[in-house]
Amino acid sequence: MAILPSLQQLRFLCALAEQCHFGRAAESCAVTQSTLSGGIKELEARLGITLFERNHRRVMLTPLGKEIATRAKRLLVDAEELVGFARNAQEPLAGPLRFGVIPTVGPYVLPSLLSHLGTARPKLKLQVREAPTAVLLKTLAGGELDILLVAVPYELGDVKTIEIAKGPIVVAMPRNHPLGQHKVVGREDLAREQLLLIEDGHCLRSHSLQACRMMDPGRNEVFQATSLRSLIQMVAAELGDTLLPQIAVDSELTSSRNVVTRPLSPEEPYRTLVLAWRTTSSRDGEFRILGTLIRECLNVAESISPHRDTEALPTR
């Protein structure tokens, strides 16, 4: 009977396939370079093939090595799912959980969520990664994350999801802006304004454009920001208007007294926060419990679903 590769050897293979550098791959596996090199050589001997082309300048997967590395990654994900399934059977939401969240949600949810989970599930060790949706989905599919908190509409692909909350999108403008006299801002009014939007790659950008039904923002878009905080600073400097998720308003407007928000009419647009995980995951039960805890933490009925006008109308 052939001797099967070990999970450690498969980890070495995947790490080297990703890094294409023995030193960095060894560091990512928390082993010495000689240990990793020896593990790769033993794996090649067991399989009877060459996985990598090596010279003094670079390390490169062979075509067959690339296919085997892809399969090895799936095996490692399955092995981790097996461990998670066993842990969940004993005690849900205990141990490590690799959690991905988008930048336009993370800063406004994580502080209270981490505190809430620390009390409700003290054995849970949340490992957080913040990145745009496309990056998180790729990382989830590769088995490097267990679950994501993202916003839709967005094409998430082959994942399971549960809805967490609906969050309104509101208009933010300088305090002395003429539209600030209105209780709500019409889309036709916003279409004539200079818009400040978050940069491409963030789902909030497409959500904002959908909210104001604007397919081509080029004619009135004057600035792209990498964060909501930068957008608010630009609005405070009276460079234009922007659209914000309601969940970010309280936090971001605290230090910006020259900014007010208004609902967008005729109906209030919103995006939906969802938890997403692999369809092959065996941890559905855990993740649904986590969803309930996040809903509790967000206090959906008061702070997410209803619109809260955080600034009174200006008076003359």
Q: Is residue 64 located within the same domain as residue 138?
A: no
Provide the whole-model pTM: 0.72
Q: Which domain holds residue 193?
A: 94-316
- Are 210 and 169 contacting, i.e. CB atoms less than 8 angstroms apart? no
Task: List pLDDT tens digits, range 31-88.
Answer: 999 999 999 999 999 999 999 998 777 889 999 999 999 999 888 888 887 877 777 6
234: its two tokens: 């630009």
Angle, CA of 111, 264 and 149, to the nearest 5°:
30
Rounded to the nearest 10°, the torsion over CA 188, 190, 195, 196 is -140
Q: Judge contact between 8 and 40, C-beta under 8 A.
A: no
Average pLDDT in the 137-142 region?
91
CA dihedral (170, 176, 181, 184) in degrees, to 10, reads: -10
Reported residue count of the chain is: 316
pLDDT score, position 309: 41
Q: Kindly report the backbone phi and psi dihedral angles of residue 82, in degrees, each rounded to the nearest multiple of 5, phi listed first.
A: -60, -45
Peptide linkage before 266 cis (omega within 30 of 0):
yes
Q: How confident is the model at residue 204 (pLDDT cuts 50, 70, 90)?
A: confident
Q: How far apart are CA 301 and CA 142, in angstroms?
A: 35
Report yes or no on 2 lying in a domain: no
**Per-residue model confidence as pLDDT tens digits over 261-302:** 998 876 778 889 999 999 988 888 899 999 999 998 887 434
pLDDT value, residue 316: 30
Identify which of 245, 257, 231 has the alpha carbon closest to the alpha carbon of residue 308: 245
> Could you tell me what percentage of the chain is helix, strand and coil, using 3-state DSSP and rounding each to the nearest 5?
45, 25, 30
Q: Is the pLDDT of residue 258 over 90?
A: no
Three-state DSSP state, 60: strand
CB 202 within 8 A of CB 103: yes
Residue 193 pLDDT level (bands cut at 50, 70, 90): confident
Number of domains in the chain: 2
Please state, in angstroms and rounded to a whole number, the distance separating the CA atoms of residues 307 and 233: 23
Instruction: Tell me, rounded to whole angstroms, the distance of Cα 297 from its chain centroid.
Output: 18
CA–CA separation, 146 and 199 (whole Å) = 27
**Does residue 134 sit in the same domain as residue 278?**
yes
Asked if residue 230 is part of any domain, the answer here is: yes
- Specify the DSSP class assigned to residue 255: T
177 or 308, higher pLDDT: 177
Q: Please give the average per-residue pLDDT across 101-116, as a whole number.
A: 91
Domain of residue 189, CATH code:
3.40.190.290
- Percent residues over pLDDT 70 in the chain: 89
- CA–centroid distance for 224 within its chain: 20
Domain boundary among 86, 110, 125: 86
pLDDT score at 134:
92
CATH number, domain of 75, equals: 1.10.10.10
CB 249 within 8 A of CB 170: yes
Neighbouring-strand partners of residue 186: 265
Find where tokens 């998430």 sit: 156
Does residue 103 form part of some domain? Answer: yes
